[in-house]
Structure formats: structure tokens, C-alpha cells
Amino acid sequence: MIKLTNIKKSFDETLILKDLDLSINKGEIIAIIGPSGCGKSTLLRLIMGLHKPDSGKVAIDGEDIIPMKQKDLNKVRLKMGLLFQSGALFDSLNVEENVGFTLKENLNLPQEKIDRIVNQKLELVEMSGRGKDMPSDLSGGQQKRIGLARAIAADPQIILYDEPTTGLDPILSTNIENLIVKLNKDFGMTSVVVTHQISTILRVAEKIYLLKDNKLLPPETPESIYDSVYEEYRQFIRGGLKT
Ligand SMILES: Nc1ncnc2c1ncn2[C@@H]1O[C@H](COP(=O)(O)OP(=O)(O)OP(=O)(O)O)[C@@H](O)[C@H]1O
Ligand SMILES: [Mg+2]
């Protein structure tokens, strides 16, 4: 359902990704790990069509999104939700307007229905009752959870999580991990989780990919990672990567 083929991406003169291939099946839940600055967020943006690769193909449900016109790309994007690393909320909109943004702007749902969905998503991320707050009134972890509520507002088939648990206390972190698994199990959401957090990888991922030297190493599982033939995987699971 998500297929990246022979991706190359650089910014100015700096090569970030090269010869990168990745296939993710429908309903799969994978983690992507790797040192800071190696290109994990860039990879998620490529899948979402927010960046274009210099060369290579990004196919979503068999459709190559690279040559698509903006209108068609927007349609494909509706299948996907992205939780940005920074939260990336709209500063001038309150929490409920942020969460309901796509429902209003892209799906044109009636306000009553939007309110119902927004409340339901806020409950899922344990932020009920905070709908009227402005993003600037929220802590980093709270902003992250609102970003998650926004990413899942339109019930996407694919959800891309960029550091979903970073900056959350251990209990909230576990709750978000449980939510990621629940969305995957109950709704079959295909999930790509970029994270540095070992607990998140072990709790949620079926497969783990490490980004190194501009491409992905062959995947491990939460069981196989301890005895990987690749030192980088073993190093990571023993206590995090050097960055
Ligand atoms: N829009 C951009 N313009 C120029 N350079 C960029 C842009 N986005 C990312 N980069 C560069 O690409 C590299 C990879 O960035 P990216 O954000 O994908 O890393 P990352 O693996 O997500 O790191 P982290 O774990 O710190 O979030 C970095 O060197 C970054 O400076
Ligand atoms: Mg990043």
C-alpha cells in the first residue's frame, strides 16, 4: 500500500537519502529509527507528498504521487494523517479548530458533526475539555497530543507518527503507545512510527527499520533486534544510538 522505490533526496548539496526502498503492507505497523539528522522526518514528508524526491517513486495504493497535480495529491493525502514532530499546530486557531481543520476545510462536514468528532478525538488523546485553549496555552506534550488528535480526525487509513511519545511523561507515553496499537488493531490503520524511544518500539512495532548511510537496513522485529547481525540495531536496543 506504501511503496518507495529507489528514492534519492538531497537538500542543496547535502545528500540525505539515496537508493532507498521501502514497502509497507496494508495494516502493518513499522518503526523507523536512526540518529538525529539522518532523514527520518524527511522520509515521512516524502510519503505524505510534502517533499518531492530528486528521483524515485512514491506509490500510495498503487498510485505514483510524484507526477500528480495538486488536486489529485490532496485527495490521496486525505487517506493519510501526519503527526508532526513539533506538533505544528496553527497558532491562531484554538484546539478544537486545529483538530477539526481537515473536517471543515477538506471534507466540508457540518459543524455539529465536526464538534462530535473533535470531542471524540480529544477524549482519545486525554485532552477532553481543552477545546477552547490556544496552542500557546499548552505544554509541549499537550501540543503533541492535539497534533495526534488532528492527524486522526478524518480517520485516515495511513498514519505517520513523528516522535509521538517524545516529551511525554512515562504514563502518557504508555497511553499513546496503547492508542497507536489500538488504532492499528481496531481500524486496521497502516502505521509508520519514527521514534528514538525504545519502549515505543518494543510495544508497537511489528518491524523495525534503521536508517543508515542514506538508506534503510533490512528490518528486525522486537524479538530479533537483540541478536541482529547489524551492530547498529544491537547498539540502539542496548541503550540508544549515539547521535
Ligand atoms: N526543508 C529543508 N531544507 C534544508 N535542509 C533540510 C530540510 N529538512 C531537513 N533538512 C536537512 O536534512 C537532514 C535530515 O533532516 P530530518 O529532519 O529528516 O532528520 P531526522 O532524522 O528527522 O532528525 P531528528 O531525529 O533530529 O528529528 C538534516 O541535515 C536537515 O538539516
Ligand atoms: Mg525528525
Please indicate, yes or no, whether residues 145 and 179 belong to a single structural domain of this protein: no
Please indicate, yes or no, whether residues 162 and 145 belong to a single structural domain of this protein: no
φ, ψ for residue 130 (rounded to 5)?
-105, 15
Please indicate, yes or no, whether residues 167 and 229 belong to a single structural domain of this protein: yes
State residue 87's pLDDT score.
74
Q: What are residue 14's DSSP bridge partners?
A: 11
Please say which residue of 121, 151, 181 terminates a domain. Answer: 151
Please indicate, yes or no, whether residues 99 and 188 belong to a single structural domain of this protein: no
Residues present in the chain in total:
243
State residue 141's pLDDT score.
82
Please indicate, yes or no, whether residues 184 and 212 belong to a single structural domain of this protein: yes
Please indicate, yes or no, whether residues 211 and 105 belong to a single structural domain of this protein: no
Name the residue range of residue 100's domain.
86-151
Task: Tell the residue nearest (CA) to atom 9 of ligand 1.
Answer: 42
Please indicate, yes or no, whether residues 144 and 209 belong to a single structural domain of this protein: no
Please indicate, yes or no, whether residues 161 and 69 belong to a single structural domain of this protein: yes
Cβ–ligand 1 distance for 125 under 6 Å, the answer no
Task: Tell the residue nearest (CA) to atom 5 of ligand 1.
Answer: 11
Identity of the residue numbered 118: V
Cβ–ligand 1 distance for 40 under 6 Å, the answer yes
State residue 107's pLDDT score.
86
Grid cell locating 84: 508532526
Task: Tell the residue nearest (CA) to atom 16 of ligand 1.
Answer: 39
State residue 158's pLDDT score.
96
Please indicate, yes or no, whether residues 190 and 70 belong to a single structural domain of this protein: yes
Give the Cα separation of 170 and 76 in Å (integer).
Answer: 35
CA within 13 Å, CB half, 208: 28
Please indicate, yes or no, whether residues 74 and 179 belong to a single structural domain of this protein: yes
Cβ–ligand 1 distance for 191 under 6 Å, the answer no
Parallel, antiparallel, or unpaired: how do β-strands 29-33 and 80-83 relate?
Answer: unpaired
Please indicate, yes or no, whether residues 141 and 46 belong to a single structural domain of this protein: no
Q: Residue 211 CA: which ligand is closest? A: 1
Considering its fold, how many domains does the chain have in total?
A: 2
Cβ–ligand 1 distance for 156 under 6 Å, the answer no
Give the Cα separation of 134 and 132 in Å (integer).
Answer: 7
Tens-of-pLDDT digits for all 243 residues of the chain? Answer: 899 999 999 999 899 999 999 999 999 999 999 999 999 999 999 999 999 999 999 999 999 999 999 999 999 998 999 998 877 899 999 999 999 999 998 888 999 999 999 999 999 888 999 999 999 999 888 888 899 999 999 999 999 999 999 878 888 889 889 989 988 998 899 999 999 888 899 999 999 999 999 999 999 999 999 999 999 999 988 875 444
- Yes or no: say if 99 and 153 are a contact pair by the CB < 8 Å rule: yes
Beta strands in 13-162 (DSSP E): 14-24, 29-33, 55-60, 63-64, 80-83, 158-162
Q: Residue 214 CA: which ligand is closest? A: 1
Element (H, E) at 195: none
Please say which residue of 151, 180, 195 terminates a domain. Answer: 151
State residue 243's pLDDT score.
42
Please say which residue of 94, 126, 151 terminates a domain. Answer: 151
Give the Cα separation of 4 and 103 in Å (integer).
Answer: 28
Grid cell locating 180: 497507536
State residue 241's pLDDT score.
46
Please indicate, yes or no, whether residues 180 and 67 belong to a single structural domain of this protein: yes
Residues near 112 by Cβ (< 8 Å), separated by ≥ 6? none
Give the Cα separation of 39 and 214 in Å (integer).
Answer: 8
Q: What are residue 17's DSSP bridge partners?
A: 9
Among the atoms of ligand 1, which is closest to the Cα of residue 45?
A: 18
Gap from CA of 114 to ligand 2 centroid (Å)? 30
Query: Which CATH number do you get for residue 163?
Result: 3.40.50.300
State residue 240's pLDDT score.
52
